[in-house]
A and B are shown apart, each in its own frame.
Chain A
Amino acid sequence: MSAATAREPSPPALGRRLVPLRAGVILQGFLLWVPVEKLFQVQIGFNAASIGLAAAAYAAVVPLLEVPSGILADRWSRSKILMVASAALAASSLLGGLSTNVATYIAAAMILGVYFALNSGTVDSIVYDTVLEETGSSALYEHWIGRVRIAEGAAFAVSALAGGLVAGWTSPRLTYFLAVPFALASVLAFARVDEPQLHRAREPVALRRHVATAFTAMTRVPQVRQVMLLAALAALLAQAVIEFGPLWLVSLHAPATVFGPYWAALVATGGLGGYLTSKLGLGRRGPVVLLAVALAATPVLLATSTSVLAVALAQTALLLVVAIVGIHAGLLLHDAVPSAIRTGVSSGVGTLSWLLFLPFSLFLGWLLRTHGVRPAGWVLVAVTVTVAVLLAASVRRPPAPPAPAGAGEPGAADVGAAVPADVACRELVALVTDYLDGALPAGWRAGLDRHLAGCDGCTTYLQQVVATIDALAQLDRGQRPPQPVAGTTAGPDA
C-alpha cells in the first residue's frame, strides 16, 4: 500500500533457502483430479446433494484442526507439519481414486480437510520468518510470498489442463492416481526446507490472553465485525463457485475436455485479483461501488443463461471479483486490528467462513439436486447482494489514520519519510542501530535525541544496547571460548 519504491535486492541466501519450499508448493499443486472431480463424483454415484454433503464433511474437519495445527506448527516444526499435510494429500488422492461409492469418497474428502487445515498459513509463516531472518525486515515478504503464489497458481493451471486431457483420453479415475507421486515428492521437498528458528526465540505468548484479546476485538468492535463478515462471505462465495460451479457445466452436458481450460481460468483469477486490487484504488467510493455492482450482477447470468461459455465466463468473472473483494477485506481487517492479534483475527475469519460454508453447502447441494441450477443461481445472487452491501458500507468509514510508515513492522521505520513530530519508543527501538552508526538523516537524529531527552524507558534501552555491544566486543577477549559456537556455518568468524 505504500508508494511504489524500487524494491531492495534480495540476498542470494534468501532465494536459495526458499527453493525447497517453492518446489514443495509446486509439487503439491499438481492435483490432476481437480478439474474433473465433479465428473468423477457423478460417475461413482454422487448427486448434487451428496456433493454438498462431501463439501460439508471436509468443511467440518478444517476448523476443528486449524487451531491445534497452528499451535503445533509453532511448538513442533512447520516443515514437518507441511510434510504431514502432503502425506494427507497423497492419502486423500489415493483413497479418492480407489473410491467406487459415495461413502469412501467422503472419507477421502475428510482426509483432504486434514491437508487444508495443516497447510493453511504454514507456508506463509515460513516465508515471513525466512525473509526476516535473511534481510532483517519484512519488506520483501510481499514479493516472496507473491512469487510462491504465482508458482503455485502456475502448477494448478498446468495440472488442470493436464488433468482434463488425461481424463479425456483415459478416465477421470487415473488423474487421482497420477496426483499421488507428486504429493509424495512434495514430502521430500519439504524435508529439505531450512526452517527459520525465529519463532522459537520469541517469548512465549500467553495463549489464553491472546485468544481472549482477539475474541474481544472480533465480537465487540462493530467495524471489525462487519469487515470480518465481509471477508468470511467472500471466502464462502469463492469456495461455493469452485465447489458447485462445475455442476452448471455438468447440467449443460459440457464435454470433459472443457473442464481443464475452465478450471485453469478459475484458478488464474487468484493471481489476477491480487494484481487488480493494487491497481483499483479501493479506498475511494467510485471503484468500490462499481465493484459492488459487478459482484451483484454477475451471478444473474448463472440463474438465466444456458450457454456453457456464458456460464463459464460468468463464474470466472464472479470469482475474479470475489478475489478482489476478499483481498480488499483482508487489507481492511489488517488496518482495523492491532498487529498482535491480527493472526488470531484472520484465523477467526477462516473459521467463521468454514462454519458458514458447512450449512450453506448442504443447502446449495440440496437445492441443486431438487430444483436444478437456476434457483441455486438466484441463491448466489442473494449472497453476492449481501456482500455488495457490506462492501459498499465499508467505504463509509473514515479512512484509517495514516499509520506511521510500516508501523509495527520490525525495523521498518521509514527514514525516507518525514520525521514525525513525536517520535515513538517503537521507532527508537527500530532505529537504535542506525542511530548509533550515525546512519540517520539529521532530522531523524534530532527527533530521536528529543525523544531520548524526555523518555527514561528509551534512555535505559539505549544504555542496555550499548552495554550489550560492549559485552559482545569483550566476548572473545580475556577468556577464549572453548569452541566456535556450534552450528556457525556462514560468514566471517572470530
Chain B
Amino acid sequence: MKGGLVRAMASAAGRGAANPADDRLFQGRDDPFPGHWRQPPAPWPAGLTTDDAARQRLRDALAGLPPSWRAVVRGRDVAGRDAAEVAAGLGLTAGQERQIRNLARAALRASLSRLAR
C-alpha cells in the first residue's frame, strides 16, 4: 500500500499550474489572439469610484486580501508611503512589492467592476 507514496511525490511535476490571472481572462494559444482579452473590460459608469457604496466596497475588498497584499496597498496607495519604506518594512524586494501591489490593485479593480454590474 505504499506505492501511492511515490505517486504523491512524482505528481508534483504537473501541479502548481493553477494561477489566478489566468486564461479565463485572456485567450489561450489555440485562440485567434493569444494573450488578448477574451472579453475586454466594460467601461464603468461615471462616478462609480467616488460614492459611499464604492468606498465601502473597497474597504470590504481590502479586508478580504491576503495580509501582505493589504499591508502593501494600505502603505502605498492608502497612506501614500514611499515604496522603499513599505518594501523594507515587509522584508520584500522592490520587485516583489510592485508585483504584490499589481495583483492587489487588479483584485480591487475587479471587485469595483462587480459593483458596476
Contact = CB atoms under 8 A, between A and B. Distances in A.
Give the interface residue-count category, chain A.
35 or more
Contacts, number: 328
Interface in B45-88: 48-50, 52, 54-55, 58-59, 62-75, 77-81, 83, 85-86
A125 B15 contact: yes
A13 B68 contact: yes
Given A13-B90, A197-B64, A429-B106, A407 B3 contact: no
Given A330-B13, A339-B23, A410-B19, A472 B5 contact: no
Contacts of A243: 1-3
Contact of B90 (A11, A58, A198): A11
Contact of B41 (A11, A464, A471): A464
Interface string A323-349: 100110111011000111011011001
B102 A136 contact: yes
Given A201-B64, A239-B4, A349-B14, A473 B77 contact: yes
B37 A475 contact: no
B9 A149 contact: yes
Interface in A114-166: 116, 119-121, 124-125, 127-128, 132-138, 141, 145, 149, 152-153, 156
A136 B35 contact: no
A349 B15 CA distance: 11
Contact of B102 (A127, A432, A467, A476): A432
Contacts of A468: 49, 58, 105, 108-109, 112
Contact of B71 (A334, A349, A491): A491
A425 B65 contact: no
Interface in A392-432: 401, 403-404, 407-411, 424-427, 429-432
Interface of B: 1-26, 28-30, 33-37, 40-44, 48-50, 52, 54-55, 58-59, 62-75, 77-81, 83, 85-86, 89-103, 105-110, 112-113
